[in-house]
C-alpha cells in the first residue's frame, strides 16, 4: 500500500514515515501541496496525508485538485491551527478525515487502515458494477451452444477496441442486439448510439438522413438538418442492412471511414466526426462484390472484424433456453402464471426450421401466452400453419437412393420461398452426390473429381446428408 505524506516540516514527515512504514506501508514524501498534486497526477496512492498550512499550495487547495485527479483516493488533513471552520472546509471539500496536531499515533494508524479498507471496498463495488454492466450488455443474447459461446467471446474481445465491425446473419437472428452488446461493453457506452435501418428508408431520403442537408438543398429543405453521422459524434452508429446502400452512398460511406469527414447534402463545408461504425447485413456481401453490386474497397473496410450469427435452426441447444426466457417474459407482461411449454410443443419447436429465427420464436410465444388459458403452452395455442405443417417435407427415396421432390412442396405456401429454395437445393445436391458415388463405385476421390469439389468437401456434405453408412463410410 502506497501512502503519500505532504508537509513542509521535515520532522513530521519523518515521524509519519516511520509510523506508517512499521505498519507495512510504502511511504513517499512531498514538501508542499504543489509537489503532492504533481505526484498524485502520475501515481495512484492508497492514502494521501496533507498538512493544511504549506508554502506555494496549502492542503485545502491540494485536496480539491487531488479530488479531481483521484476521486476515489482517501485524503487526510492535519493542522497545527485547528478550528471548526477549517474542519468544515476539509470535510466539505472531500477529506476522509481531519486531525489536529499533535495527533495520537494509534488513532492515525487506525484511520489510515480504515481509509485503505474503504478504498478497497469501493474498488470491489466498482468491479462488481462493471461486471453487472457487462452482463447487462448481453442480457437479451441467450445461448449456451458452441456457436453462441463463440459469439459472446468475440463480443467481449472486440468491444473495447475501437474497430469497425460487420455483423452477419439471417433476418431475426439478433444482429441489433449484438451491436447493442458491443456498445454497452465499449468505452463509448455513455455516448450516443444511433441506429439506422438502411432498407427501411427510401433511397431518395437516405443520404439526407445519414449526412444531413443544408437549407435550400432540395424542395422542402426549409431548415438545415444534421444527419445521423453528426448525431453519433463521439459515439457509435449502427447501419443495418448496409448491403442495400446505393453506389453513391457506398462512396460517401467509404470517405467517412477513410477520413472521418463528409459534407451535408447541398453543403461544401467538410464536417469532421469521431465515431465507431458497426454494420450488419443478411446479404452475402462477398458475393455482391463478385457480382459488382458492392464496392470491394468498402467491403474490406467494413469487414475488419466479422461476427456471424447462426440461424436458430442450427442452435437446438439454445432453443429450450430461449423458450423459457420468452415464456417468463410474456407471462409477466400479461400477468399470467405460465410455467412453460408442453413436451409435444417443445418437440415441434425442435423440428421446426424457424425461417424467421429468434424473432419468429418470440412472436409465436407472445401469441401463445396471450391465447392460452392453461398453466403451460399447448399445441392448440400455436398458429395453425405450425400445427398442420408436415413432419417432413422431403419426398420418399427412389430405388437408387436419390430423392423424389414431392409436388406438394410447390403447393405448400406455409413455407417461405427462401426455405423452399434451400430444401430444393439441398435435395438436388444430395441427389448429385448419390449419382456420382453410384457411377464411381463409391470411390470418393473419383466422385469428388466428377463433381468438381475436393474430397474433404465431399466428406463434409456426406456427413451433412447422412450418407456415411456402411456402404459409403
**Domain's final residue, options 61, 94, 128:** 128
Tell me: do 287 and 422 sit in the same domain: no
∠ CA 340-377-144 to the nearest 5 degrees? 40
Tell me: do 64 and 185 sit in the same domain: no
Residue with cell string 430461449? 322
Strands (E), 384-446: none
DSSP SS3 for 165: strand
Residue with cell string 474433404? 456
Q: What's 82's domain CATH number?
A: 3.40.50.2300
φ/ψ of 111, rounded to 5, equals: -65, -40
Residue with cell string 473495447? 160
DSSP SS3 for 115: helix
Distances (CA, A) of 83 to 80, 104, 110, 459: 10, 18, 23, 87
Q: What's 428's domain CATH number?
A: 1.10.10
User: How many residues in the chain?
Assistant: 473
Tell me: do 157 and 250 sit in the same domain: yes
- Residue ranges of alpha helices (H) inside 185-246 are 203-211, 228-231
The count of structural domains within the chain is 4
Domain of residue 347: give its range: 313-387
CA–CA separation, 395 vs 405, rounded Å? 5
Q: Is residue 285 part of a domain?
A: yes
Tell me: do 160 and 299 sit in the same domain: yes
- At 86, list the grid cell: 477549517
pLDDT tens for the 473 residues of the chain, in order: 789 999 988 888 899 989 999 988 899 999 999 999 999 988 888 999 998 888 889 888 999 999 888 888 899 988 877 667 777 788 878 888 888 888 888 888 898 988 888 888 777 766 665 555 544 444 567 888 888 989 999 998 999 999 999 999 998 899 999 999 999 889 999 999 999 999 888 888 899 999 999 888 887 777 888 889 999 999 999 999 999 899 999 999 999 999 999 999 998 899 999 999 999 999 889 999 999 999 999 999 999 999 999 999 888 888 988 999 899 989 988 999 999 999 889 888 988 888 889 999 999 999 999 999 889 999 989 988 787 765 444 443 443 444 445 444 555 565 567 666 766 777 778 788 888 888 887 788 888 888 888 887 888 788 766 676 434 44
Tell me: do 34 and 83 sit in the same domain: yes
CA–CA separation, 328 vs 365, rounded Å? 10
Tell me: do 271 and 150 sit in the same domain: yes
Tell me: do 189 and 118 sit in the same domain: no
**Domain's final residue, options 261, 284, 308:** 308
Tell me: do 168 and 294 sit in the same domain: yes
CA–CA separation, 305 vs 2, rounded Å? 41
Q: Is residue 402 part of a domain?
A: no
Q: What's 244's domain CATH number?
A: 3.40.50.300
CA–CA separation, 318 vs 53, rounded Å? 66
- Residue ranges of alpha helices (H) inside 137-171 are 146-158
CA–CA separation, 327 vs 266, rounded Å? 51
Amino acid at each position: 500500500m502506497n501512502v503519500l505524506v505532504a508537509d513542509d516540516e521535515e520532522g513530521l514527515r519523518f515521524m509519519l514515515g516511520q509510523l506508517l512504514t512499521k505498519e507495512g506501508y510504502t511511504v513517499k514524501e512531498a514538501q508542499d501541496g504543489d509537489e503532492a498534486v504533481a505526484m498524485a497526477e502520475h501515481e495512484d496512492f492508497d492514502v494521501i496525508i496533507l498538512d493544511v498550512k504549506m508554502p506555494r499550495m496549502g492542503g485545502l487547495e491540494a485536496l480539491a485538485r487531488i479530488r479531481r485527479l483521484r476521486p476515489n483516493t482517501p485524503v487526510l488533513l492535519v493542522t497545527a491551527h485547528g478550528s471548526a471552520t477549517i474542519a468544515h472546509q476539509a470535510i466539505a471539500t472531500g477529506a476522509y478525515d481531519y486531525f489536529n496536531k499533535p495527533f495520537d499515533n494509534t488513532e492515525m494508524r487506525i484511520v489510515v487502515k480504515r481509509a485503505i479498507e474503504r478504498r478497497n471496498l469501493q474498488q470491489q463495488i466498482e468491479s462488481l458494477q462493471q461486471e453487472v454492466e457487462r452482463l447487462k450488455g448481453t442480457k437479451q443474447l441467450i445461448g449456451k451452444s458452441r456457436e453462441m459461446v463463440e459469439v459472446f467471446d468475440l463480443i467481449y474481445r472486440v468491444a473495447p477496441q475501437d474497430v469497425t465491425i460487420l455483423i452477419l446473419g439471417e433476418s431475426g437472428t439478433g444482429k441489433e442486439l449484438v451491436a447493442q452488446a458491443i456498445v454497452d461493453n465499449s468505452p463509448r457506452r455513455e455516448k450516443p448510439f444511433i441506429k439506422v435501418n438502411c432498407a427501411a428508408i427510401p433511397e431518395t431520403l437516405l443520404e439526407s438522413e445519414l449526412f444531413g442537408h443544408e437549407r435550400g438543398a432540395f424542395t422542402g429543405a426549409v431548415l438545415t438538418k444534421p444527419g445521423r453521422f453528426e448525431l453519433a459524434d463521439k459515439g457509435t452508429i449502427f447501419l443495418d442492412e448496409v448491403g442495400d446502400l446505393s453506389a453513391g452512398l457506398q462512396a460517401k460511406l467509404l470517405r467517412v471511414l477513410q477520413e472521418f469527414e463528409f459534407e451535408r447534402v447541398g453543403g461544401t463545408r467538410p464536417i469532421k466526426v469521431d465515431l465507431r461504425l458497426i454494420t450488419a447485413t443478411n446479404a452475402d456481401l462477398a458475393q455482391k462484390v463478385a457480382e459488382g453490386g458492392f464496392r470491394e474497397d468498402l467491403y474490406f473496410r467494413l469487414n475488419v472484424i466479422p461476427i456471424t450469427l447462426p440461424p436458430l435452426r442450427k442452435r437446438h441447444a439454445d432453443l429450450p433456453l430461449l423458450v423459457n426466457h420468452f415464456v417468463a417474459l410474456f407471462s409477466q407482461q400479461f400477468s399470467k402464471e405460465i410455467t412453460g411449454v408442453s413436451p409435444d410443443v417443445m418437440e415441434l419447436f425442435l423440428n421446426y426450421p424457424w425461417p424467421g429465427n429468434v424473432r419468429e420464436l418470440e412472436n409465436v410465444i407472445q401469441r401463445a401466452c396471450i391465447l392460452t388459458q392453461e398453466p403451460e403452452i399447448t399445441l392448440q395455442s400455436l398458429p395453425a400453419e405450425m400445427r398442420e405443417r408436415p413432419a417432413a417435407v422431403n419426398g420418399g427415396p427412389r430405388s437408387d437412393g436419390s430423392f423424389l421432390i414431392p409436388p406438394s412442396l410447390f403447393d405448400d405456401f406455409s413455407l417461405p420461398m427462401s426455405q423452399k429454395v434451400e430444401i430444393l437445393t439441398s435435395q438436388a445436391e444430395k441427389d448429385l452426390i448419390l449419382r456420382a458415388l453410384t457411377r464411381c463405385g463409391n470411390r470418393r476421390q473419383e466422385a469428388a473429381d466428377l463433381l468438381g469439389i475436393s474430397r474433404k468437401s465431399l466428406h463434409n456434405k456426406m456427413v451433412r446428408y447422412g450418407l456415411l453408412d456402411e456402404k459409403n463410410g
